[in-house]
Structure 1
Amino acid sequence: MMRTLVTLLILAATLFATAASAAFETRARAAWVYDATTDTVLLSKDAETPLPPASMSKLMTLNMLFEALRDGRVTLETQFSVSDKARSMGGSSMFLEATDRPTVEDLIKGIIVQSGNDACVVVAEGLAGTEEGFARLMNERAQAIGLRNSTFANASGWPHPNHRMSVEDLGLLAVRLIREFPEYYGYFAMETFAYDGRVPSNHNNRNPLLKLGIGADGLKTGHTAEAGYGLVGSAVQGQRRLVFVISGLPDDAVRAEEAESVVNWAFRQFVEKTVAEKGARLATVPVWMGAERSVGMIVAEDVDLLVPAVVRGDIDGEIAYRTPLNAPVEEGQQIGTLTVSLPDLQPREIPLVAERAVPRGGFVPRVTTAAYVLFQQVTGKAAGL
């Protein structure tokens, strides 16, 4: 494996920086902050540890319901019955009665705005017959969609020793809801809802960011004595979407302050920059037995990365590739990777592809190429770099 350093010029950038100014010290027990536009994790604190998720795990119940809508098993107008178990649920409530027949749309609003535990049980029983059966389906589906550190024991997030989610899983689930179900995502921005006008004092969305004018449009709060106060949030400013999870805070006031601080930090301390343009040749690699001796390595699309605002000027990247590259080579074939490391961010790997096709050469080109590559290996120099 050959490696070489390249310098990437950040467009319209000029100066210096230190890493420390981009760092964020959160008061949350666990946190995960993600820029969905550039697929960049900005902060990860104890993010893979399974923790009590409280009502934030209602996002998985909503995912199951949205999938049922997409599959045609239910519609927004489908009515569900209310069992005694659902009606008697404690905690946050939609205030359902046994004679009610709420629609799927009612239940979505009741879960998102009122965090109704009763609504979650209604959904679970309506889709799977029992809440226990629904929890088994939740676990199966969680594994299928890549939630590696989640186990579910109920539909509502009611405290249970086997009901756990990592903040990373909560964030990944939020990203899934945003991307997979845009037709239903708008419900998360609803500020008020009261089913049949009941208990108007309990009809406000608990998400503290929705009224601040900072682009917040979701997703779900949570609180139990064991879990503390948490929030799965998302906000859009300009072309960027932020998704974040904070958990284990001492009260709702601190949760609100921390959530706003996270949003302000993420949008103000990072900027999106184009570090390599589509088709730009970053290096060349020798081709073994090809009609041509080498082929250029390019990026297939513009490479837009999130960069700490304090970082200006040039960025170093490392290109890795195997040499020699055996002919034939197809145009657009991945032949290497570019790794870019930035302060306080995880390294990013970008595929590098062949600039053009290189067919297998005839006798003379094959002999010439073999001698050329042998010379390069002896001298230790990479051709064209």
Structure 2
Amino acid sequence: MAAAKATARKQGLEDVDPFVGFQVDPGLHKGKRIRGRGTRSNKTGRFEPYQTEPVDDGWSYPDGEEPLPPLRTEVQEEKARTIITRNDSPDIPFDRSINPYRGCEHGCIYCFARPTHAYMGLSPGLDFESKLFVKPDAANQLKKELSAPGYRPRPIAIGTNTDPYQPVEREYRLMPDILDVLEETGHPVAIVTKSALILRDLDKLKALNERNLVKVALSVTTMDNRLSRAMEPRAASPKRRLETISRLAEAGIPTSVLVAPVIPALNDNEVETILTAAYEAGAREAGTILLRLPNEVSPLFQDWLLHHYPDRYRHVMNVLRSMRGGKDYDSRMGQRMKGTGPFAELLHKRVDVVCRKLGYNTRRTRLSLKHFAAPKRNEAQLSLF
């Protein structure tokens, strides 16, 4: 504790919680939970030169507590120069992806994409959940990039950063147009979501599946409604996600379940239960990912954990750190999603045993590349007048 306080003084930080050992966030809303939001914090992003904090000016309210201001979702449209994002990470099974939205209204406290909002000059906390960016021209930009000379098709992943079927998609409807472009060009796609809204586009998914061009993964984190509502406040309920798996499987769509993230001493005891329920619903492939706490996600998650499950805080963090070489997070390729050590090995063995017992992953869906036909480019000469 003394070391933590000394470090805080050296860095110019005033408050360090002696129990948890990390800086007390001055952006917390007086310890209150904001209904429908995953975090209580809106701390400034790490790239900003200044940080702000609320100050009591002496004016008190009758009950002694200042009411929280309404927190509404704000959406800003942006013109993307490119829509296909490339990566060369050796531990990721795809080399290109599409993210129609920046930020995610689901508000999952554990979301590893939260730090990306810092690049926008916004907070990875409440801003990530309430200040969203939408790319309304995504489908047209996609068609343009698929028509580029020399483009070679490989499966495009959608939903790897933020959920393409988050609540705001009901209004903007970007995915139907994107799927139309992919179906028109015969391009394969893999979609990850935790939303039942994907069933709105079931007919389009069926059309893609006729040529083996699509597969879908549903993320199921817990079967506990209370835990789910606290951890993923605006995502579909566990029951609804299983129903979505069932509907997709009945329609013949290759469907898998992603038990992610696995949080030691919080939801790791549910791994077998989730995999069993998803298999009974129709999923035939499965995967797991250990909780990742990069950059600002770590203090946000720790505050959430201390607020909702204070009796488990030490246990969860100690076990997690034992799987990360003593750190909150290990970003090394091949380790960041799995962890190391006895606890990690035991978790992987448990997953392997239940998957073999149920019959998961006996056959991996390989999407077809042979149907791709690049859309025609607009070669018309533009007029100067």
Give the TM-score of the pair, scaled to structure 2.
0.25
Please say which structure displays the higher CA radius of gyration.
Answer: 1
TM-score of the two chains, using structure 1 as the length reference? 0.25
Flag the structure with more relative contact order, 1 or 2, with Cα contacts below 8 A and sequence separation at least 6. 1
Q: Which has the higher strand share?
A: 1
